[in-house]
Amino acid sequence: MTFNFSMQAIDHIINSAAKSNYMSAGQISVPIVFRGPNGAAAGVGAQHSQCYAAWFGSCPGLKVLAPYSSEDARGLLKAAIRDPDPVVFLENELLYGESFPISAEALDSSFALPIGKAKIEREGKDVTIVTYSKMVGYSIQAAEILSKEGISAEVINLRSIRPLDRPAINASVRKTNRLITVEEGFPQHGVGAEICASVVEESFEYLDAPVERISGADVPMPYAANLERMAVPQVEDIVRAAKRACFRSS
């Protein structure tokens, strides 16, 4: 069951789970994890391809996680289960069939990842790419292409949508002086918009170029494969945005 069907339970998630702790003055905790596939799949149409990161990420009282790798999934899910608050755990269906390297640390039974901490997947000095879930893989591929053209891209895997690791994002932008956000969700009121706002508020004087925002198209997801591809960010979109930010011809 995908997060598209969470709309059938939206009242319970937003008005009950997220608010009980606040409305009881901290006397009631709601340790529950809402877990399932999120975002674009493959050929499943408009009603089964939406990204809910921004939807749930805007709600106080919820924690929202979006793993990319197997290590992310293991460490974050354990942290979510142990957390006293309601956690929305957004997985990506297309990542279920992918394999990732696992560290010895992650295989330990006590392994868990802190909620609210991003991970630098690839260090760089010319441009910061902030992303989450499946788009992390696309961003790493883009960074590899850019490196061959003399552009060093830093890729940040958010892991946590709410709370958002603003210190990590701003520290990276203050080093690279450029920002690109990448997400599958809609552009308006999206996760990328919130990240851009945070950087403009906290690190504007460090920016050497306008921020770049890459997102899904502002339309319901098409069913046809060729149109579906056009509606979701691709590696080449990230490469072009990075070149624009670095004032290179695209």
Task: Supply the pLDDT for residue 46.
Answer: 85
> For the residues 6-15, what does the mean pLDDT come to?
94
Q: Same CATH fold, 119-245 and 3-107?
A: yes
Report the alpha-carbon distance of residue 154 to residue 15 in Å, rounded: 38
pLDDT at 97 over 80: yes
Q: How far is residue 78 from each of residues 38, 97, 100, 115, measured CA to CA in Å?
A: 19, 21, 18, 10
Helix axes 135-147, 235-245, angle to 10 degrees: 50
pLDDT of residue 35: 97
Task: List, in order, residues 6 or more apart from 179 with CB less than 8 Å away.
Answer: 127, 128, 130, 173, 195, 196, 199, 207, 211, 212, 245
Across 20-105, where does the E strand assignment appear?
33-37, 63-65, 87-91
Mean pLDDT over 136-142 rounds to 99
**DSSP per residue, 199-226:** HHHHHGGG-SS--EEE---SSPPPSSHH
| Average pLDDT over every residue of 87-98 | 95
Alpha-carbon distance of 183 to 105, in angstroms, equals 29
Pick the CATH number of 119-245 from 3.40.640.10, 1.25.40.10, 3.40.50.300, 3.40.50.920: 3.40.50.920
CA–CA dist 112, 74 (Å, integer): 7
Pairwise CA distance, residues 228 & 220, whole Å: 10
Distance CA 31, CA 154 (A): 35
Model-level pTM?
Answer: 0.95
- Decide if domain 3-107 falls under CATH 3.40.50.970: yes
Mean of the per-residue pLDDT values of the chain: 96
Structure tokens at 62: 């919820």
Ordered by start, the domain boundaries in the chain are 3-107, 119-245
Check if the beta carbon of residue 88 is closer than 8 Å to that of residue 37.
Answer: no
Question: Residue 131: enclosing H or E segment and its boundaries?
Answer: strand 127-131
Three-state secondary structure call for residue 50? coil
Estimate the crossing angle of helix 166-176 against helix 191-203, to 10 degrees: 60
pLDDT digit string, tens, across residues 185-226: 999 999 999 999 999 999 999 999 999 999 999 999 999 989
Residues facing residue 21 across a β-bridge: none
DSSP 47: G
Find tokens 């999206």 and name the residue: 190
> Residue 132 has what pLDDT?
99
